[in-house]
Structure 1
Amino acid sequence: MGFTIELADLISMLMAILCGGIIGFEREYRNKSAGFRTIILITLGSTIFTIVSRHGAGTDDRISANIITGIGFIGAGVIFKDQFSVWGLTTAAVIWTSAAIGMTTGIGYHALAFVFTIITLLILLMVTRIERLIGALKQEKMLSVTFRNPEFGQVKMLENKLLLRDIKMEQVQISKDNDMLNVIWLVSGKKEYLLTLTSILARTPEIKSFK
């Protein structure tokens, strides 16, 4: 049984490797969980599945739909959550976008796929700088503090001390465990003020631990 390889399909796969490599290089440079090889394989795999879908007999959009579903599982695997924060959402979005670029090359829209790649790269590069600029103006973070004893007066004392440093605090949760008081705040303020937060907490004798 013979087979033929169409030049257009080879060009699509090479284009997928190029586009995936451009995005993957930026991810690898930033030491993200989905790096150079991963992004290339995601883009190339999406292209191959799209080519198979295009050449198969009596095909419909089921293969393309399953690509999106499968990529969703991969993206979910790079998202991590703890009590206060979520990591990996940008990486998951990059994986999803890379698959879309691969599907675009798979149907032969090479120029459009390359444009999408450049736009994605610019977003990753420029948004990081903008986020740093915004972060320098004002930041928010969750703060969990465990006091040595369950006296509510020390909670107010700490809030007043931090307010003097232009750090705003909003109580999110307060609980008592083993005769110790645990309070969670949403704190906000300029980055230069929040940098002093750790030293203030470490010097406060009423505090057992914080994070």
Structure 2
Amino acid sequence: MDFLPENNDLVSIGVSVFCGSLVGLEREYRNKSAGFRTIVLICLGATAFTIASSYGIGSDDRIAANIITGIGFIGAGVIFKDKFSVMGLTTAAVIWMVAGIGMAAGIGYYGLALSLAVITVIILSVFNKVENAMERLFLTRTLFVVFQDMDINNLEELKRQLDKHHIKYARKTISKRSRRLSVVFELTTDRKTLQQFNNEMMNLAYIEEFYYNS
């Protein structure tokens, strides 16, 4: 019975923690639900199971498959879906990716694990700037509006405001909310125009409240 880990296993663990830390720091910096410790532990856990599977009798790919299944449950826990949007998909994808990095470290593909960690951080940081740049030109948002009363003319006036700003819109729902008219729109425009429209809505007396769900 050997109580001491093999040297190559210690290297795998070290690489796993380092790779998980690279990705985890980026997630912690952006204040995501799966932050530094969570990402490191997911990466290390995948490495641990991969290492353990290599010492099992008749070891095969079932351990790796079960790791992916288990990671799927964790990823599903960070996804939030309401009636009009889904949030947390990027975080779930990061968890899935980090598990793959941990498995690569566990089987001794250190170069692959390090490369994937660096590429993941680049995608999360640099590509985020690309998305922000695209939003300046093309932006889709879900707008929730609650009017002061049930007067349908107020809805028509809001539509005229949207047309004035050349904002494309589609009405999703219309309902009664505490004796007030409530409407949901999907808007398509650029960021600058949307900000101008928001500033104007602040001064519209017939609007009780409004908010967005991206």
1: distance between equivalents of 2:127 and 2:148? 42
2: distance between equivalents of 1:97 and 1:205? 49
Percent of residue pairs bearing the same amino acid type? 47
What 5-or-longer segments of structure 2 have no aligned partner? none
1: distance between equivalents of 2:39 and 2:193? 38
Partner of 1:16, secondary structure, is helix
1: distance between equivalents of 2:77 and 2:64? 21
Query: How do 1:4-15 and structure 2 match up within 5 A?
Result: 4-15=4-15
Where in structure 1 do 4 or more consecutive aligned residues deviate above 4 Å? none
Partner of 1:204, secondary structure, is coil
* Aligned counterpart, 1:76: 76
Partner of 2:141, secondary structure, is strand
* Aligned counterpart, 1:114: 114
How many residue pairs match? The answer is 211
**Shift of residue 44 of structure 1?**
0.9
* Aligned counterpart, 2:159: 159
**Shift of residue 30 of structure 1?**
1.5
Query: How do 1:171-182 and structure 2 match up within 5 A?
Result: 171-182=171-182
1: distance between equivalents of 2:94 and 2:115? 15
**Shift of residue 7 of structure 1?**
1.4
**Shift of residue 3 of structure 1?**
4.1
2: distance between equivalents of 1:8 and 1:182? 62
Q: Give me the TM-score of the superposition, normalised by structure 1.
A: 0.92
* Aligned counterpart, 1:32: 32
- The CA RMSD measured in Å over matched residues stands at 1.7
Query: How do 1:84-103 and structure 2 match up within 5 A?
Result: 84-103=84-103
2: distance between equivalents of 1:95 and 1:151? 48
Q: Which string of whole-angstrom CA distances, capped at 9 and with x for unpartnered residues, describes residues 137-169 of structure 1?
A: 121111111223333332222111221122222
Report the AA paired with residue 189 of structure 1. Answer: T
CA contact 2:165–2:197 (8 Å) conserved in 1: no
**Shift of residue 58 of structure 1?**
1.6
2: distance between equivalents of 1:27 and 1:181? 40
Partner of 1:174, secondary structure, is strand
Q: Which string of whole-angstrom CA distances, capped at 9 and with x for unpartnered residues, describes residues 115-155 of structure 1?
A: 11111111111111101100111211111112233333322
**Shift of residue 4 of structure 1?**
4.7
1: distance between equivalents of 2:136 and 2:177? 36
2: distance between equivalents of 1:150 and 1:29? 44
